[in-house]
């Protein structure tokens, strides 16, 4: 919920979005909780937000949802929304 960043379902965050700027480089990313073990969040205050929770696709849909399940649909939607073509490199180094 505004003014908080990320993707929320009620008072629970399902996706964190971040930007980092430093040394003339900007990087950005996201973390979508697919089948995350949410018990780890019992030991911290997620994102420093008291009274807010964390959820996952698996929890919300009531079935096991892996990254492999969502990766291609996510990439397809990303290309459509940003009107771009993703290029993948075999050499990650």
pTM, rounded to two decimals: 0.80
DSSP classification of residue 45:
-
pLDDT of 45: 87
- Mean pLDDT (the chain) is 91
Active site (catalytic) residues: 47
pLDDT of 68: 96
Phi, psi dihedrals of residue 21, rounded to the nearest 5°: -125, 130
From residue 12, alpha-carbon distances to 4, 46, 53, 80, 86 in Å are 11, 10, 4, 27, 30
Band of the pLDDT at 36, cuts 50, 70, 90? Answer: very high
Domain ranges of the chain: 7-82
Band of the pLDDT at 48, cuts 50, 70, 90? Answer: confident
pLDDT of 37: 94
């Amino acid at each position: 919920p505004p003014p908080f960043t990320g993707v929320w379902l009620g008072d629970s965050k399902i996706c964190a979005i971040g930007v980092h700027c430093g040394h003339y480089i900007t990087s950005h990313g996201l973390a979508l909780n697919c089948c995350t073990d949410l018990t780890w969040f019992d030991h911290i205050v997620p994102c420093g937000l008291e009274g807010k929770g964390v959820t996952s696709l698996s929890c919300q849909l009531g079935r096991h949802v892996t990254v492999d399940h969502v990766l291609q649909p996510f990439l397809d939607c990303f290309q459509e929304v940003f009107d771009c073509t993703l290029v993948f490199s075999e050499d990650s180094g």
